[in-house]
Amino acid sequence: MGATEFEDYGFGKTAEVAFNGCVREAHYESGHDSYNGTISTVRGYQLFIAPPRTSVEKVAGLVWLLHDTSDVHVRYSTDRFKVLTTEYERGDVNGPAALRTKWKTHVLPKGVDVPLLLAMSAAIEKWESCCAIRVAGITAQNKREQHGWKGLHGDVYYFFGLAAC
């Protein structure tokens, strides 16, 4: 069996309450199958603290990039990292496609460092754990309105990881 990426927003007084709510909702929507490709296929989460005014989706995107890349193809510095990428140029009738590699730089959001991203990448395991980030600021307000959590006491959490499918 394989794995697929998932992301889910949860709400609760603690991350545990939010996680359990996401699992209940996943069971309701996708059933109790242990290969349903949702958050319900992982056993738990690891909570990470993202700096204020940081897009949790952007942090998750950088974590997935590091998770999917071999360590030999990444170079780190304090405020950025570089990933060796391969680009294919279309071939024509007279010849095959050309292959070219180059280093692509990814600048880290303010307050996010490489050790945090590496720790989050290491926390993602199929069947075991996913990452959780507490969402704050305007993003949390928007998610509260979007999901009907406005006016309730608690926090918004963003969960992402690998689900069995």
Q: Which segment of 12-26, 30-44, 143-157 scores lowest on mean pLDDT?
A: 30-44
Q: How far apart are CA 132 and CA 135, in angstroms?
A: 9
pLDDT digits (tens, 9 = 90+) for 65-115: 888 887 778 898 888 889 988 777 766 666 666 678 889 999 999 889 889
* 18, two tokens: 């939010």
For 115, other C-beta atoms within 10 Å of its C-beta total 9
Partners of 107 in the beta sheet? 80
Name the pTM for this structure.
0.86
